[in-house]
Chain A
Amino acid sequence: MNCEEATKLMDGYLDGELDPITSQTIEQHLRDCPNCEQKYMANRALVNAIGSAIPYYKAPAGLRERIQCSLREEIADRPARAVPRLLVTRKQPEPRTTLFGTPWNWLSLGGLGLAAAIIFAAIIFSNLAPMLRRPGADQFLATQLIASHVRSLMVNHLTDVASSDQHTVKPWLDAKLDFAPPVVDLASEGFPLIGGRLDYLDNRTVAALIYQRRKHFINVFVWPGEAAARPALAMSHQGYQLLHWADPDFNYWAVSDVSASDLQTFKQQFEAQRSHH
C-alpha cells in the first residue's frame, strides 16, 4: 500500500469501518511511514474534537405533546372511526386549522390553548402591573379581558357562530346584542374571519370576533366606546401581543400570539375596511 491509497482509506480506518484485512494493511503502512502516521494521529484528534463539538439540537419542550396530539387526531380521523370523529369535530368552525394538511381538533388546540392561556395570563398580569395600579375602570377591565381570553382558548369556546362570512356573523351578533359591531372581511389581507362569540366584559355583553393569522388566532373584543376615544395602547411580552384602540363608536381590544407588526397590520386593515363601510 502506498501513501495515496492509505490517505484515501484513512477516514474508514479512523471510523473502524474497514474490513479486517484492509485494516491490517493500513496499520502496517502507518508503522512503516512516519509521515502518514503523523497525519493520521493529527487527523484523528481533530475529527474527534470537531465531531463532539457540533452543537446537538435537542427537541424543545412541547414538541412531544404536539406529536402525541397529532397522532391521536390521526386515529380519530380515520374513516372507520366515524363516531368519535363526529364527537370531536362537530363544533369545529371552518376553515379547520391545518398543519401540513393535518387537521387539528379542538381538543389538541384546547390543550395547547389552555397552556398558552395560563402563560398568557401570567404574562399579562406581570405586564399589566403598572396599569393595574391605575384606579377604576381600567383595572377591572383588564382583569376581565384576561379572563375572557383565557376562557376563549378552552375547548369549544372559541366561537358561538362559526363562519368566514361577515354577512353571517354580523346579523347573528346584531340579533344578540344591543349594538351592531363592525364585522369586516380581511381574508384577502391574510386574516380570515373564523367566527363570532358573545362575551361579557366591563359589566356588559360584548362581541368577540375571531380572526386567524396562519396558525394563530386573534380575539377582537368590541363594545360601544365612551365619548372620548382614548389613544391606542400596545403591549407585548415574549411573543404575546395585546392591542387596544378606539374609534368614536367602539372600543377594541385585540389579543393574540402573532407578532406585534402582524397585529398592527391587522388593526390598520381592520380600520381601513371599517371606514370603507
Chain B
Amino acid sequence: MAAPLKVDYAFDTEDLESSAKIVKFAILKKHQQQDAAQEHEVASFEETMLPHMDAAHNLAKWLLRNEEDAQDVVQEAYLRAFKSFSGFHGSNGRAWLLTIVRNTSYTLLKKNRAVDLTTTFDEEIHTAGYESVSPAAILEHSENAELIKEAMDALPMEFREILALRHQEGLSYKEIAEIAQIPPGTVMSRLSRARAELKEYLAARIGKDK
C-alpha cells in the first residue's frame, strides 16, 4: 500500500545544504531589519570576544565541574559582556571576559547554595603516607591526565581557578589578581598553596595505589 520509501533522504548532502541555506537566509533577513549600527556593534563584539570562547568555557568548567552549567554560564557571561561592551576600552579582552565568567559562575554557585570556597579535602587521602613518595615518582604520573583531573577536581574552587588561569591561560600575576579579585601580593602565596595541595593529592593517590 505504501509508496516505496526513500529512507536516505535525510542523509542527502544537497538536502542538508539547502536546509542550512534556509536558516542562513532567515537570519540574513532578520539582520536587514536591524540598524546597521547595531549589527556593527555585535560584529565588533564578536570579533573581539568570540576568540576567547575556549578560555571562557575552560574556566567555567573547572569552576562548576558540570558541562551544562558551564555552557549556561558562558552564554550568560557573553550576554553580560555584550551589555557592558561600550564601557570596555582595554586591550585585554580575554582577562575582561574571564572576570565576567568567573563572577557569573560564583553567582550561579551561590544561587545553588553549593559554594565550595572552603577547603573540602579528603582527610583520608590527605593524611595517607605520601611522605614516602618522591617528586620523581609524582613526575612519572604527571602525564596521567585522568589522575590530574581527579586531583584538580578535589581542590577547593579558588585553587582550581588560580591553577587554570596560570597554567592553562598563562596569565600574569597582575591579570590573575584582577580576575580573581585578590590583592596582587596574594597571588603568589595562593598559587604556591594550590600547587602544594595538588602535589600532595597526587602523592597521596600514588602512595595509596602502591
Report yes or no: A55 in contact with B148, Cβ–Cβ below 8 A: yes
- Decide if B58 touches A56 in the complex (CB within 8 Å): yes
What chain B residues lie within 8 Å of A56 (beta carbons)?
54, 58, 168
Given contacts A70-B79, A143-B5, contact A75 B199 (CB under 8 A): no
Residue ranges of B at the interface with A (Cβ–Cβ < 8 Å): 1-3, 5, 7-8, 10-11, 16, 19, 22-23, 26-27, 30, 33-35, 38, 41-42, 45-46, 50, 53-54, 56-58, 61-62, 67, 70-72, 74-76, 78-79, 82-83, 135-136, 138-139, 142-145, 148-149, 152, 163-164, 166-168, 172-173, 187-188, 191-192, 195, 198-199, 202
6 smallest CB-CB distances across A and B, nearest first, come from A51-B167, A49-B142, A59-B57, A140-B2, A57-B61, A11-B192
Taking CB atoms, residues of chain B closer than 8 Å to A276 are none
Contacts of B136 in A (CB 8 A): 42
- For B164, give the chain A residue with the smallest CB separation: A54
Q: Could you tell me the distance in whole angstroms from the C-beta of A63 to the nearest C-beta in chain B?
A: 6
Chain A residues whose C-beta falls within 8 Å of the C-beta of B195 in the assembled complex: 11, 47, 50
Given A58-B58, A100-B76, residue A84 in contact with residue B34 (CB < 8 A): yes
A32 at the interface (CB under 8 A from B): no
> Using a Cβ cutoff of 8 Å, how many contacts connect chains A and B?
169
Query: Contact at B10–A64, with CB atoms within 8 Å?
Result: no
What are 15 pairs between A and B in contact, CB < 8 Å?
A10-B192, A15-B188, A45-B139, A49-B143, A50-B202, A54-B148, A54-B152, A57-B57, A66-B71, A67-B74, A81-B35, A84-B33, A99-B75, A102-B79, A137-B2
With a cutoff of 8 Å between Cβ atoms, the chain A residues found around residue B172 in the complex are 17
Chain A residues engaging chain B, CB cutoff 8 angstroms: 8-12, 15, 17, 42-43, 45-47, 49-60, 63-64, 66-68, 70-72, 74-76, 78, 81, 83-84, 87-88, 99-100, 102, 107, 110-111, 114, 118, 121-122, 125, 129, 132, 136-137, 139-140, 143, 155
Query: How many Å from the CB of B3 to the closest CB on chain A?
Result: 8
Q: Flag if B2 contacts A139 (CB, 8 Å).
A: yes
A46 CA to B196 CA in the complex, in Å?
Answer: 11
20 other A-B residue contacts (CB within 8 Å) besides A46-B139, A132-B5? A11-B192, A15-B191, A42-B136, A43-B135, A45-B139, A49-B139, A50-B202, A51-B163, A53-B148, A57-B70, A58-B57, A70-B79, A75-B38, A75-B42, A81-B38, A84-B34, A100-B76, A111-B23, A136-B1, A137-B2
Considering the chains assembled together, what is the distance between the CA atoms of A143 and B2 in angstroms? 10
Chain B interface helix/strand/loop/mixed: helix
- Of all chain A residues, the one with the shortest Cβ separation from B62 is A57
- Rounded to whole Å, the gap between the CB of B56 and the closest CB of chain A is 7
CA distance A188 to B38 in the complex (A): 41
A59 B74 Cβ-Cβ under 8 A = yes
Residues of A within 8 A of B75 (CB): 63, 66-67, 70, 99-100, 102
> Is B166 in contact with A51, judged by CB distance below 8 angstroms?
yes
Tell whether A118 pairs with B53 under 8 Å between CB atoms, given A49-B143, A50-B142. Answer: no
Residues of A within 8 Å of B72, CB to CB, are 99-100
Question: Inside 8 A of A75's CB, which chain B residues have their CB?
Answer: 34, 38, 41-42
Within the assembled complex, what's the spacing in Å between the Cα atoms of A41 and B194? 19
Cβ 8 A contact of A121, one of B10, B53, B58, B148: B10
Docked-complex contact B26 and A155, CB < 8 angstroms: yes
Least CB distance, B10 to chain A, in whole angstroms: 4
For the complex formed, measure the closest distance between the CB of A269 and the CB atoms of chain B, giving whole angstroms: 24
Please name the residue on chain A nearest to B41 by beta carbon: A75
CB of A61 to closest CB in B, whole Å: 11
Please state if B26 and A110 are interface contacts (CB–CB under 8 Å): yes
Q: How far is the CB of A23 from chain B (nearest CB, A)?
A: 13
State whether A54 and B167 are in contact (beta carbons under 8 Å apart), knowing that A118-B19, A140-B2 are contacts in the complex. Answer: yes
Bound-state Cα–Cα, A137 to B27, Å = 39
Q: In the bound complex, how far is the Cα of B172 from the Cα of A76, in angstroms?
A: 38
